[in-house]
Structure 1
Amino acid sequence: MPMTLQLQQLLLHFCLLRVIEKESKQQAVNDLKSIDQLRSFIIYMKKIWSYISTIYKNSKLNVKLFITITLIMVITLVFVLAGLQYAFSLYDEQIYAKSSQVLMMSSNSIEEELKRVEEVSFNIAMDPQIQKNLLELQGDVNGYDFYRIEQDIEEELASYVGSERYIQSIYLYDAGGREFLAGSSSNPIREIDKYLALNEAVKYEGKNHWMERDGYNQYLSSVRLIRSYKNLNFENIGKLLIRVDLDQIISSLPKTRGEIAGNIVMTKGEQVFYSEKEQMNVVSNFPFRTKKEQGYHIENIKGERYFVNYITTDFENWTYWSIIPFNLMFSKVTAAKYSLVLVFMLMFVILISLGFKFLRRITNPIEDLVTTMQDVQRGNFNVAGSLNPSLVYEDEVGILYRNFKTMIERIDELIKENYSKQLLIKETEFKALQAQINPHFLYNTLESVNWLAKSNKQKQISSMVEALGHLLRNSINFNEDIITLEKELEIVNSYLTIQKYRFEDRLEFQMDIPSNVIQCKIPKLTLQPLLENSFIHAVEPSLGSSVIKLTAYQEEDHLCIRIEDDGPGIDPLIIQKVKEGKVKPKGTGIGLNNIDERIRLGFGEQYGLKVENLSGKGTVITVVLPFETRC
């Protein structure tokens, strides 16, 4: 038996060690995760700082000046406002102490008056004459005897009403429920309130109870069960209800002046049972919740801010609230805050204005130079006349300004001298390139072959010869270098007629040309050599069916014509080597190079051909031209 107990202890010790070890490992894992997260956050913040720093370094001088002055002003304003906020928090605490003191004095005054009413209630319940009359009413009393007792009770109650000025009326009920009234009857108690009050009196068995009704009541009711002390039998012989004018008690309190004056609201729990009339709209939208016996906070009610102070007392566990409009209470403080911010804004505007005025003397000439340099970079050398050296000073910026103007003027002169020569060279190159694809000598021979084919009723041969003749006729015609895409497609259709007879079912040609691009301008004989390239590299080597797609579309201000095949593809390095003459091309070698150079010479270096290899799934050649519908 001892061995078994010892073994159990060892097992328990081992299990505890395992649990501690597991928790330690888990804690270590959590620590590592926290470290990794912190490291990631630091790296991320470094990237953000690097990005912001790069933007700042690359910004213009006036932007840097604006950011620097703004940061200085903002940092200064933050420190000043932080100091003021600390001072204002101390000021808030002083106001809270003052308003709490006032609220405490008010609650003490109210409760003292109510305690006097409680004494009156006790005296009435113990009054020998009242006791005697209530006991007599338990018997069979009517006629004159009842009238006599009624007069005695009302006279006795009237004496008590006069003892306290805040008692509005006293209601006494015998065991049979008959009512006796003393005091003012101008504002009688409601039947529902009377019913609830009498039920509350029974519940508290002779103790005084203040009945609070939900709402904003002017009157507060004290109820008590009257019990007979004759022979100490404590028999229930009646009920007493005293109505107190709470509005009059609060209005008679000493009114404080200045910032800490506020209106009083009384609650029990979250139930409001008294509020001054002018506070009704505010109170109806205010959550009366307390976390401790006393405190203060700022509450936003219907778009307006209020300083709220409260205190909970032991008397019936009531909470007294003081609700003061924030703007009234902190008008001076708010004015000081706004004045300070306004002064800083004015200083900021003045500093920015002076800084920009000084910096403009430096940045304006530099900005003119930057704008002019950008125009020169785009090829416009006529902007030198817009530079006016007389507007700048004789400092380093002025010297740079004048030297740059002189340099641009000299470059412009050189460009004008060589302009006519460059035009002549381009025109000569264009005609030389175009002449490479003009097989003029074959045209007359093809006409004879076509006549012979028709004579022998060889329609296929005749159709092929006519298509080839159409191709040659367009190549011989030098009158039109630029044609519409519609005419270029007629040449393409003639070429396809020949190829369809040649390849028959092995060729599937797809064409998608929108109507909005059909009238765009294009260099003549651009698409036919590209299609011929697709036939050489894609259709001819293939034993199966081949697909060639011809599509056109508009992309911003560019016309893009896309020719796609499903052949083995063309390595872009091979194309580059063909251009450099390092590799001998397949065929004549004038197709792609010819078209690319013609487009670049005619429209600019940003246009031309783009070759895309589809990784063994074919080749895409895109012709990029300006989107123009007139020559």
Structure 2
Amino acid sequence: MKKIWLYFTNIYNNAKLNVKLFITMSLIMVTALVFVLGGIRYAFSLYDEQIYAKSSQVLMMSSNSIEEKLKQVEEVSYEIAVDPNIQRILIELQGNVEKYDFYRLEQEIEDLLVKYAGSEKYIQSIYLFDSQGREFLAGSSSNPLNVTEKELALSQAVKYKGENHWMERDGYNGNLTSVRLIRSYENLNFDNVGKLLIRVNLDTIVSDLPKPTGELTGNIVISDGNHVFYSEKGMDDVDTYHFVSENDQGYGIEKINGERSFVNYFTTDFEGWTYWSIIPFNKLFSKITAVKYSLVLVFVLMFIILISLSFNFFSRITKPILELAGTMQKVQNGNFTIVNTLNPPKIYEDEVGVLYRNFKTMIQRIDELIKENYSKQLLIKETEFKALQSQINPHFLYNTLESINWLAIINKQKQISRMVEALGNLMRNSINFKEDIITVEEELEIVTSYLTIQKYRFDDRLKFQLDIPSDFMKCRIPKLILQPLLENSFKHAVETSIYTSVIKLQAYQEQDKLLIRVEDNGPGIDPLILQKVKEGIVKPKGTGIGLNNIDNRIKLFTGEQYGLRIENLLGKGTAITVVLPFQTE
């Protein structure tokens, strides 16, 4: 569970700002909806209890009224059973009675029964049977007892030994029969002299009950155990429901005839009957259901409206921030000009607007400072480049003039003109600062002029080898980097030797680099001394400053990864390699 929580927390923390705000607002709305629905459910439960209390009260009043009317019928039954005239007639009928006497007694007993039948409006008919089973009837003769019911009723009368018993009649909804055994109390012998059956129409009693109005109007059902013997709205409405009460009273929502109904019941001591009140659920809770769904619908509409408004509000906040974050990413990659295109439709005076304006101002200022610093650095490099070039010319011109002077004094030949011509070309190329970057071919013209002069000076003591492919002639290199290297070889290899000196100038390519190598067979240069010269520990002599200048110029032109490589050939000379990018533009 903890891992799952951490997983979703991590997703939430890494989500975009508008997603976080949307999720937070949704959670708040869902939580509120849960509490609202919980409150509605709790209110409905309280309403259910109120409905149960009211319907129970109505049902109890109805049952009390029904049982009160039935008890009045029981009192009539008791009065008939103890009526002295009826007692006398029934005793007389036990003997041998002539037809005339039987007719007289029959008329007399029926008149008495009619009087009792009219005393209660709910009595439908009265059946009186003497000890020999002869039947006397008063009241309505509709729906007469069949043989089976008659036998059951008479047996029930004997079973209860003079007590009143209510018998439900199957197939006749609402027809009840009060049965009682009539016993003779003359001389207190309590002999069985007859049986009394009083038919009652339960519908008449129920129809006279005070009816509730509104939502509590329902169907009254009466059952005896598991047997339903009365339904106010007919047996067809209750055939699909099994009326079984687990407790003496209770309520619930049941499905009857495919319709949800609110069922309330309680059991009384009167014959152990259970009274049921069945109220259609839709009728009972129609208003509440409408209110519930209206509240849910209103809440959903509010949820949609609030989410829409929140989304627009969050977009107003997050859109400039997301745009600002994207711009920061581009600025991080070195693109400072992108901030000039950062123009949202409208910037407010809130915190986001202040952040946006401050960021834009800051990047613009940084860009200005970078451009200013870049311009200054270019100016410094250009100045250093010119200064380094100017350091080479005086020393070279001094050596050249010395060579010309020596040749003129010793030989007095026309070769002087050639040397002077070569010197002129060399001076023109050296002093011309219009182009700092030239091709290899142009640099070799300077080298050729320089070698022309040096060949006249050293004659047979110099052997020069040139190996540069024609494909490299258009490569771009800094001006005056090969001539000082050759000058360095003449200074340290040729001038100090009485033997033939060999100088090799060759070029080759390694991947995207151009390498130009100047190699001589002189005594070589101690790398330790050269390193100390570059660090400023030892003051250089001769052309040592030239090598340092060349290395600095190459680095200014191409970058720190390029420059000079000096190799000591272990007593066989020195090799200096110029490392440049291979480029023709």
Please state which band the TM-score falls in when normalised by the shorter chain.
Answer: 0.5 to 0.7
Superposed CA RMSD in Å reads 3.2
| Closer/same/farther in 2, CA of residues 352 and 299 from structure 1, 3 Å limit | same
The change in CA–CA distance for 1:80 and 1:215 in structure 2 (over 3 A counts) is: farther
Q: Which residue of 2 aligns with 1:315?
A: 270
Is 1:351–2:306 an aligned residue pair? Answer: yes
Q: Hey, what does 2:451 align to over in structure 1?
A: none
Query: In the alignment, which residue of structure 1 is the partner of 2:46?
Result: 90
Structure 2 CA distance for partners of 1:76 and 1:183, relative to 1, 3 Å: same
Structure 2 letter corresponding to 1:308:
V
Q: 1:232 aligns with which of 188, 191, 213?
A: 188
The aligned length equals 340
Q: Which residue of 2 aligns with 1:325?
A: 280
Q: Which residue of 2 aligns with 1:186?
A: 142
1:216–1:272 Cα contact (<8 Å) kept: no
- Give the TM-score taking structure 1 as reference length: 0.49
| C-alpha separation in 2, matches of 1:397 and 1:287 | 75
Residues 301/70 of structure 1: CA separation in 2 closer, same or farther (3 Å cut): farther
Q: CA deviation at 1:312?
A: 1.7
Which of the numbers 253, 256, 263 marks the counterpart of 1:301? 256
**1:407-422 alignment, distance < 5 Å:** none
Match of 1:292 among 239, 243, 247: 247
CA distance in 2, matches of 1:363, 1:86: 40
- Is 2:131 the partner of 1:140? no
Q: Map 1:580-595; keep pairs closer than 5 Å.
A: none
What is the match of residue 291 of structure 2?
336
Q: Closer, same or farther in 2 for the Cα pair 1:327/1:274, shift >3 Å?
A: same
CA distance in 2, matches of 1:219, 1:59: 76
**Structure 2: how far apart are the matches of 1:299 and 1:86?**
20
Instruction: Give CA deviations for 1:200-219 in whole Å, capped at 9, x if unaligned.
Output: 11111111001124566221
CA distance in 2, matches of 1:368, 1:193: 94
Choose 1 or 2 for highest CA Rg. 2
- Secondary structure of 1:330's match? helix
Distance 1:52 1:303 in 2: 45
Q: How does 1:162-181 map to 2 (within 5 A)?
A: 162-181=118-137
AA in 2 matched with 1:135: I
Q: Deviations over 1:362-406 (max 9, x none)?
A: 888999999xxxxxxxxxxxxxxxxx9999778899999xx9xxx
1:220 to 154, 161, 176: 176
How far apart, CA to CA, are the structure 1 residues paired with 2:263 and 2:50? Answer: 14
Change (3 A) 1:390 1:182: same
Q: 1:315 and 1:75 mapped to 2: Cα distance? A: 52
- Shift of residue 297, structure 1, vs aligned partner: 2.3
Cα shift at 1:105: 1.4
Match of 1:53 among 9, 13, 21: 9
CA change 1:68–1:268 in 2 (3 A) is same
Cα distance, 1:80 vs structure 2: 2.4
Comparing 182-191 and 163-172, the one that deviates more: 182-191
How far 1:330 moved relative to its partner? 2.2
What one-letter code is carried by the residue in structure 2 that aligns with 1:260?
A: L
Query: Where does structure 1 lack aligned partners over 5 or more consecutive residues?
Result: 1-44, 371-387, 404-631
Aligned to 1:23: none
Which of the numbers 213, 233, 251 marks the counterpart of 2:207? 251
Q: Decide whether aligned partners of structure 1 residues 138 and 216 sit closer, same or farther in structure 2, where only a CA change above 3 A counts.
A: closer
Q: Write the mapping of 1:385-534 to structure 2, written as runs, cut at 5 A.
A: none
User: SS at 1:259's partner residue?
Assistant: helix
State whether residues 219 and 277 of structure 2, in contact with CA within 8 Å, keep that contact through their aligned partners in structure 1: yes
* TM norm structure 2: 0.52
Distance, in Å, in 2 between the alignment partners of 1:69 and 1:329 is: 37
| Matched position secondary structure for 1:195 | helix
Determine helix, strand or coil for the equivalent of 1:170. strand
Deviation at 1:197, TM superposition (A): 1.4
- Compared with structure 1, are the counterparts of its residues 332 and 144 closer, same or farther at alpha carbon in structure 2 (3 Å cutoff)? same
Whole-Å separation in 1 of the counterparts to 2:23 and 2:151? 74
Q: Aligned pair 1:272/2:256, yes or no? A: no
Asked if the contact 1:365–1:392 (Cα under 8 Å) also holds between the matched residues in 2, the reply is no
- Secondary structure of 1:277's aligned partner: coil
Structure 1 Cα separation of the partners of residues 14 and 155 of structure 2: 83
CA distance in 1, matches of 2:254, 2:118: 42
Q: Distance in 2 between matches of 1:195 and 1:53?
A: 82
Q: Deviations over 1:607-626 (max 9, x none)?
A: xxxxxxxxxxxxxxxxxxxx
Change (3 A) 1:79 1:202: same
User: Which stretches in structure 2 are left out of the alignment for 5+ residues?
Assistant: 326-340, 348-352, 364-585
The CA deviation at 1:119 is 0.8
Q: Secondary structure at the match of 1:158?
A: helix
Distance 2:243 2:156 in 1: 25
C-alpha displacement of 1:158: 0.6
Aligned mates of 2:186, 2:227 — CA distance in 1: 40
Q: CA deviation at 1:184?
A: 0.5
In the alignment, residue 152 of structure 1 is paired with which amino acid?
Answer: E
CA contact (8 A) 1:206 1:227 kept: yes
